[in-house]
Structure 1
């Protein structure tokens, strides 16, 4: 793959300063691990993004889209082809009970904007450290709330570069699943419909959720959030804890002593450390309890 040729072609779509060659992707993940991306591009307009997607599709170049990298592990071998960051798609606007949001906006920030406008429905999101796009893909939820409860429409780009607007009946939301994940749509914008509420009650709920998160989760270290999905009629964290795995370490990656559902980077972890520890956890829990733990965190990159 000719990286210089790709860059030369992309310079016709976005400004030079938006393109980087051999970008360390550890700079773009919460756990601070991951290899290099061949060509890293940071568009700021929808038409640019559509053109990039079409270019990659027509030329059969692998395309990977990143938000804030909160719920992702990028392998140490990195990512071939084009890596697109959506961090510039971060505008937030409010009209009545609706909030229109770019997919690269922080969902925490959106919940705060909702509070400022006395809108209720996103209190659950006040501690989710990802983007709106990531929240839609995973149908993110916490403390009794889910994205599926408030999303009314979404603008997306297909893998071939077609621009679509999806409505509620097309979302196919399930537990940590959605049509956005199934079809690998690139999310551009989301529209949330909220309800007018008492700002004191809204803030109280957000403060309560923040306290619960800070008291239970290992926020003092980089992590990728909950590593595993909740197995039927059980909890991943409890199974891991009951397996005696808290504090187990491979390289710089450790099963958190504060919450067994998290793996933290103690400072020098690699993605390989994370993946080996994940496999060790899965094998141990399977052996002790007969339960197959499925990863919630997205694992991407060259194998």
Structure 2
């Protein structure tokens, strides 16, 4: 029996039948709506299952990839070999005094809503980020002059050996779109946020204001992965792209948004290759015209077709 078949058999002992899929198209699981199939897709429902999955992948020398809400991600057209671990069934959120404790798969919009209900201020910046708390913590996501580093108190993670580790804010070594979670390939299980008691009407006003700004400035009517490029020091990626004359530039079904040049969008029939080719074109033009290097903020994984 092959190692892959042995891995599948053991995964079936750990997970219920509906929580394991085969050859699942990743375009159905990421916000860009592109990407080939994942060999094995699993949905853990508790932390013990996560640890078992990681240990089995190590035992059978299988690659694994952790998936939250599928934003900020581009999967290539050939798909993903190995195991994709999707955290959508680990999404509980609870409030304790001035703290919000959210499991990795909890959507940022839901964490924002629960914070508002509890009259807790500080997480409004995340109301429109289309991701999960695990992914946001991992990459220190941010918007509108706020970021995860401002509000995270501690994080529970699993290392690649399957050990549980609790990290303090200081341990996390937050930087621009970076944390120690990325450095050591930890897996975030839950994040504890420390917020501030405040008037709920003021919090809601701030959320409504940021939501209006996002709706008016971002191409939310199209599939995308959010901001495509990291902000280069001293510049704004969107302005550089616009000044390079690339607004509306397309490759296949991919296009530089005419609403916000910092976004590459899927017009409906894009392939991952279309998007990658457009990213490369944008990088080339901005480098030639302004001598500035643009680096993708979007994480690119998988194999070419």
Task: Tell me the TM-score normalised to structure 1 length.
Answer: 0.98
Within-5 A mapping of 1:185-196: 185-196=186-197
SS at 1:213's partner residue?
helix
Equivalent position of 1:114 in the other structure: 115
2:136 and 2:156 map into 1 onto residues whose CA distance is: 14
Q: Offset of 1:5 from its aligned partner?
A: 3.0
- Count the aligned residue pairs: 303
1:7-41 CA distance string (max 9 Å, x none)? 21211111122111111111100011000001111
Give 1:211-230 correspondences, 5 Å limit.
Answer: 211-230=212-231
**Cα deviation, residue 3, structure 1:** 4.0
Matched with 1:210 is: 211
What RMSD in Å do the two structures reach over aligned CA positions? 1.0
Residue 58 (structure 1) shift? 2.2
Counterpart contact for 2:3–2:60, Cα < 8 Å: no
Give the corresponding residue for 2:151. 150
Displacement of 1:150 in angstroms is: 0.7
- Tell me the CA shift for residue 2 of structure 1: 5.2
Q: Which runs of 5+ in 2 are unaligned?
A: none
The superposition leaves residues 148-196 of structure 1 with CA deviations (integer Å, 9 ceiling, x where unpaired) of 1110111111112111111111011011110111111110000001010
Which runs of 5 or more residues in structure 1 are unaligned? none
In structure 2, how many angstroms separate the alpha carbons of the residues matched to 1:168 and 1:259? 33
Q: How does 1:44-123 map to 2 (within 5 A)?
A: 44-123=45-124
Per-residue Cα deviation, 1:93-122 (whole angstroms, up to 9, x for no partner): 011101110010001110111111110010
- Equivalence map 1:23-34=2 (5 Å): 23-34=24-35
Structure 1 stretches of 4+ with a deviation exceeding 6 A read none
Q: Distance in 1 between matches of 2:131 and 2:197?
A: 25
TM-score, scaled relative to structure 2: 0.97
1:28-66: per-residue Cα shift (whole Å, max 9, x none)? 000110000011111101001101001111221101111
1:159 matched to which residue of 2? 160
1:199-256 Cα deviation digits (max 9, x unpaired): 1111111111111111100001011100000001000000000000011111110000
Tell me, yes or no, if the aligned pair for 1:57 and 1:161 is still in contact at 8 Å: no
Distance 1:30 1:258 in 2: 18
Give the whole-Å Cα distance in 1 for the aligned partners of 2:248 and 2:286.
15
Provide the rounded CA distance (Å) in 1 between the counterparts of 2:67 and 2:48. Answer: 18
